[in-house]
Amino acid sequence: MITRGIKLRADQPMILQMLDIPPAVEALNGVKMELVDAAFPLLKGVVATTNVVEACTGVNIAVMVGGFPRKEGMERKDVMTKNVSIYKSQASALEKHAAPNCKLVPQMQV
């Protein structure tokens, strides 16, 4: 919906900067290829990276949708602790490298 202009403006070009963990890089690159192949007219570029600084540099709108999955034997607090660490790292990179007016959009609003 973002790449079709439904969530932003219908005339707002964009570059998607996507971040994932190294074990998921193959899937991340697959998503990048699908986005490029779809030829969305508003999509002017796609960055797929495992480097948090590269993913956050120059960002105007950030949507943080990832998180550590709960595994067998883990309590909710264990998952929360892992996710807090992940989000702190990303928030720090956004603070240092994103555009000064960067907006953080909650996942549920995407």
pLDDT in tens, 11-24: 888 999 999 999 99
Which pLDDT value is given to residue 108? 54
pLDDT tens digits, residue range 21-57? 999 999 999 999 999 999 899 999 999 999 999 999 9
pLDDT at 84 over 80: yes
Residue 22 and residue 8: Cα distance in Å, rounded? 30
The residues spanned by each domain of the chain are 14-104
Which pLDDT value is given to residue 64? 85
Residue 110 and residue 30: Cα distance in Å, rounded? 21
Pairing outcome for strands 103-105 and 61-63? parallel
Which pLDDT value is given to residue 6? 67
Residue-averaged pLDDT of the chain: 89
Q: What CATH architecture applies to the domain 14-104?
A: 3-Layer(aba) Sandwich (3.40)
Residue 61 and residue 104: Cα distance in Å, rounded? 6
